Structures are given as structure tokens and as C-alpha cells.
Chain A
Amino acid sequence: MEFSPFYQELITSLNRGLMMSIALIIPSVIGGVLIGILAGATRTFGNPFVRKTADTYAAIFRGTPLVVQLFVLYFGLPNVGIYLSPYVAAVVGFTLCSGAYQSEYIRGALLSIKRGQYLGAQALGFTTFQAIFWIIVPQAVRRAIHGCGNEIIYLIKYSSLAFIVTCIELTGEGKTIATEYFRFTEVFTIIGLYYLALVTVAIFILKKIEQRLYVPGFGHS
């Protein structure tokens, strides 16, 4: 079966955009989760100064639109002599924004761990850091995984905002073709299917991770 030139061009462009989207999503997801754990733990256990700092970070990145954050990173920072490429600006923006949301899921999970777990570790001679790192965080991650997974799925979709800082990914590529051929319905329907596929893959991977981390009875008691 031979596709029409429109579809040939569309699919080639969208596949190229898909690669860029994936290149944006993967580092942002990993960075977001790591920052989320760090900021969440700091906001829960840190001394007043670092806690305040981490709270402020979360308040700013959860409190302002991602579009504004991306504009500041890409168009604002050059004013103070920092030039980011479109790709780097997008990844940094997504990571910081995602990390702020993740920190809230992690914080809730950390607070839900019974105090006895910490006492038990302390009584064995664990340092505060060791108790948090080896006992509290591994349990909190298991409780937070559903919320964090949700945030990852959001991230996959808000990665489409990269095109506003001229990083042309899935949505950006599609938009170019749609404007060129003036065929918005088909183009955006197909883009939607691409995102649906991405999210489906993500859900599958999250499910695998959940199974991998499963501990009998955990979270049910």
C-alpha cells in the first residue's frame, strides 16, 4: 500500500518528532524523580533553612505556569549571560517542574511511614541519614509510586510545550505539517495517537516497576 505524499511526509516528520519527544521525556522523568526524592526528603527531614529553601522551590515551580518557566529559561536567562539551547532549556524546565510535583508525592509518602520504623533504625545505631536513606525512603517510594507514575504521565503530555522554546518535537513537527497542508483534524488526531502510545508504554513500564518493587503486605497494613 502506497501512502499519499501528505501522509508520507506527516509520518516521517512525526517519527522524527517522536524521537525528540523521547529524548526530552526520558532525562526529565529521571531528573524529576531524583529531584523529587531529594526535595521531598529535604522538605520532610531537613533543618529549617534547607527546608525553607526546598519549600520555596516547590512553591515557585508548582505555582507558576510551565510555559512561563520555559520562557524565563530560554528567553530570560540570556539577559544574565546564560544561553541554553532549546533542547537543554526544555529539559531543565521539565525536570524542575516535574521535580516540584514529585516532591509533594514523596513528602506525603515519607510522612505516612510509621515513626516506629525510624525508632527501630535509630535503636540499632543508624545515623539519621542512614535511617532515612535505607529505611524510610525505600518504603516511601513504594507508597509514592502511583502518584509519581501519574506525574510521569502528565510529563509525557506537557513535553509538547517544548515547541514554544523552538525545540521541535512531536507536536511541533505535526503543527508545521498541519499548517502547511491545512489539515488539522487528521494531523492532531494522529499526534494524539502517538501520545496515547507513549503513555501506554509508560504505564506498562510503571506496572513492571511496581511488580518489581512489590513487597508482600506492604501498604496494606
Chain B
Amino acid sequence: MNESSPILRVNNITKSFGDNTILNDVSFELVKGEIKVLIGPSGGGKSTLLQCINCLVVPDSGDIKLEDEQIDFSSKQDLYSLRQRVGMIFQDFNLFDHLTALDNITIALRKVKKISKKEAVKRARLELEQVGLGDKEKLYPAQLSGGQKQRVAIARALAMDPKILMLDEPTSALDPELIGEVIAVIKSLAHKGMTMIMATHQISLISGLADEILFMEKGKIVEQGPPSLLLTSGNSSKSQGFCDRLNELSEVEG
């Protein structure tokens, strides 16, 4: 595939729950290696957009193309194969509570990718090393801190070799002192060229990593552009205003 041709195309996605329109005709493209950051007020549709991309929430209309392959929303096989190729990190981790850190990773490799147990364990150990948790493989989610849980979740998603990684507020459920370790992992992924789309309120991720910011409000992308354009001081963009408020908040907290 051509480097510059989009790996993911999202066209005119609309989603309503009852009379409530959560996503209204949203479109964007993601190129290999690119990092897009979704920001905006809560209730703006960021989470729903991410969940529509891997069809955890099936869109009412619009279409999604992954690697130039149109996803048929009514085909279960299409959805399973889409989700294998699009990794997802949740705000509240969603590690499997009854499995150790290692088994959380191997179970998906073995059941979904049908890899042998030996190979799966090898791969899982490698991924745990990568996120700095090589010594925690035998621990259960209840024995891990929030930051460690989120790193296991990232390792689990990466073990599946996703084409794209989606992160839905990956640091929002963490205590302030645990945010740093998760950010460090996300940054190292960015340096390795991982294609990512993430919703976050973490200013260092927004200004430091984003190739493009998508500002979402009332189910629409109302502003988009690189941080260098949107986040210059004195700019009157919504994104700048939003980030200013985030900054003020973190100063109040700090």
C-alpha cells in the first residue's frame, strides 16, 4: 500500500440513540503512522466515534474502510476481523479479572488468532517487557495498580498486531501519580510509528503527540488541524480555548 494512502477511512458516520443524535455525519481519514487526537467537551461524541470505528457500536449510516476494504456492518465475520486489526484501550482497562497479566494477553492470541500456547506465552512476555511489566506476569488485575493495569491492556492490544490503536481516555481513570507511566508507554509507541487515534484530556499528549487535532462538539468535528496551527497562544480556536481551560485546571490541581 502507498505510504500516503489512508489506512482507515471513516465516511459520514451517523449514530443516534432514540431521538438523541450522538454522531452527526462524521468523516475523517487516518494515514499510516499518523496520530490523531480527539478533544472536546464530554458528551461531544468522542467515545461513541471510537466505538463506532471498531463497531462495538454499529453506526446507523455511513461507511468504514480499513486498508481499502469496506466493512459490511451486517457481517459478523467482517466485524470480528475488523476488531482484530483495530486495537482498543479503554478508560477503565477492561482486563479480564479472572486471568493473570500474562493470560490476559495469551487468551486472545490463542482463541482469536489460534496461536499455539508456547508461541502465545513467548509473545505475551515480550509485550509485557515492552511496557515494563516483565516481572508482573503472574499477578491478577486486582493485584495491579491502575497504571500497571492500563499498561497490561496496552500490551494485550499490541500483541494482536493491530494496524491502528484506538485509545479512549487512557489516563482518565488513573491517579495523577500513575499517569506518567502510561503516557511514557504511549509516547514510545508513537516513536515506533504506531498509527493511533485517541480521545484524551491530557495536555502533553495533545500538544506533544498529535499530528492533527479533531475538536468534537455536539456529534460533529467542528475544528481540525495540526497543534502548531490550532494551539498557538493568542489563537482564538476552540481547541486553544479548551486546552487553556485544561491548563488552568491542572494548575489549580497542581
* Chain B positions 73 through 92: 1 when the CB is less than 8 Å from some CB of chain A, otherwise 0: 00010001101100110101
Q: Is B160 an interface residue (CB 8 A)?
A: yes
Query: Which DSSP category, helix, strand, loop or mixed, fits chain A's interface?
Result: helix
> Within 8 Å CB of B172, what residues of A?
none
> Within 8 Å CB of A139, what residues of B?
96-98
The answer to whether A124 touches B108, judged by C-beta atoms less than 8 angstroms apart, is yes
The answer to whether A117 touches B94, judged by C-beta atoms less than 8 angstroms apart, is yes
Option from B87, B95, B97, B160 in Cβ contact (under 8 Å) with A215: B97
The answer to whether B107 touches A134, judged by C-beta atoms less than 8 angstroms apart, is yes
The answer to whether A217 touches B111, judged by C-beta atoms less than 8 angstroms apart, is no
Q: Is A120 an interface residue (CB 8 A)?
A: yes
> Within 8 Å CB of A135, what residues of B?
96, 98, 107
> Within 8 Å CB of B160, what residues of A?
124-125
The answer to whether A127 touches B95, judged by C-beta atoms less than 8 angstroms apart, is no
The answer to whether A218 touches B56, judged by C-beta atoms less than 8 angstroms apart, is no
Shortest CB distance A45–B (Å): 15
Task: Choose, from B8-16, B31-39, B119-127, B135-143, the stretch at the interface.
Answer: B135-143
Q: Is A220 an interface residue (CB 8 A)?
A: yes
* Chain A positions 30 through 48: 1 when the CB is less than 8 Å from some CB of chain B, otherwise 0: 0000000000000000000
Are A217 and B141 CB-contacts (below 8 A) given A125-B108, A127-B76? Answer: yes
> Within 8 Å CB of A117, what residues of B?
94, 96-97
- Expressed in whole angstroms, the Cα–Cα distance for A23 and B97 within the complex equals 37
Nearest to A219 among chain B residues (CB) is B97
- Expressed in whole angstroms, the Cα–Cα distance for A92 and B153 within the complex equals 45
Q: Is A8 an interface residue (CB 8 A)?
A: no
The answer to whether A119 touches B90, judged by C-beta atoms less than 8 angstroms apart, is yes
The answer to whether A221 touches B81, judged by C-beta atoms less than 8 angstroms apart, is no
Chain A 172-221 interface residues, beta-carbon cutoff 8 Å to B: 215-218, 220-221
The answer to whether A124 touches B84, judged by C-beta atoms less than 8 angstroms apart, is yes
> Within 8 Å CB of B143, what residues of A?
216-217
Shortest CB distance B115–A (Å): 13
Q: A122-B56, A130-B111 are in contact. List 16 more A-B contacts (CB 8 A).
A: A116-B90, A120-B90, A120-B93, A121-B108, A123-B83, A123-B94, A124-B157, A125-B80, A125-B108, A125-B160, A135-B96, A135-B98, A138-B98, A139-B97, A215-B140, A221-B142
Q: Is A142 an interface residue (CB 8 A)?
A: yes
Q: Is A75 an interface residue (CB 8 A)?
A: no
Most buried by B among A122, A142, A221: A122
Are A218 and B97 CB-contacts (below 8 A) given A116-B92, A119-B56? Answer: yes
Nearest to B82 among chain A residues (CB) is A125
Chain B 63-81 interface residues, beta-carbon cutoff 8 Å to A: 76, 80-81
Are A126 and B112 CB-contacts (below 8 A) given A216-B140, A218-B140? Answer: yes
The answer to whether B98 touches A121, judged by C-beta atoms less than 8 angstroms apart, is no
Nearest to B94 among chain A residues (CB) is A120
Option from B88, B92, B94, B98 in Cβ contact (under 8 Å) with A218: B98
- Expressed in whole angstroms, the Cα–Cα distance for A122 and B139 within the complex equals 23
Q: Is B54 an interface residue (CB 8 A)?
A: yes
- A-B CB contact pairs (8 Å), 26 listed: A116-B90, A117-B96, A119-B56, A120-B93, A120-B94, A120-B95, A123-B54, A123-B90, A123-B94, A124-B112, A124-B156, A124-B160, A125-B83, A125-B84, A125-B108, A125-B112, A126-B112, A127-B80, A130-B112, A134-B111, A215-B142, A217-B97, A217-B140, A217-B141, A217-B143, A218-B97
> Within 8 Å CB of A125, what residues of B?
80-81, 83-84, 108, 112, 160
- Expressed in whole angstroms, the Cα–Cα distance for A123 and B89 within the complex equals 9
Chain A 91-138 interface residues, beta-carbon cutoff 8 Å to B: 116-117, 119-127, 130, 134-135, 138
> Within 8 Å CB of B141, what residues of A?
217
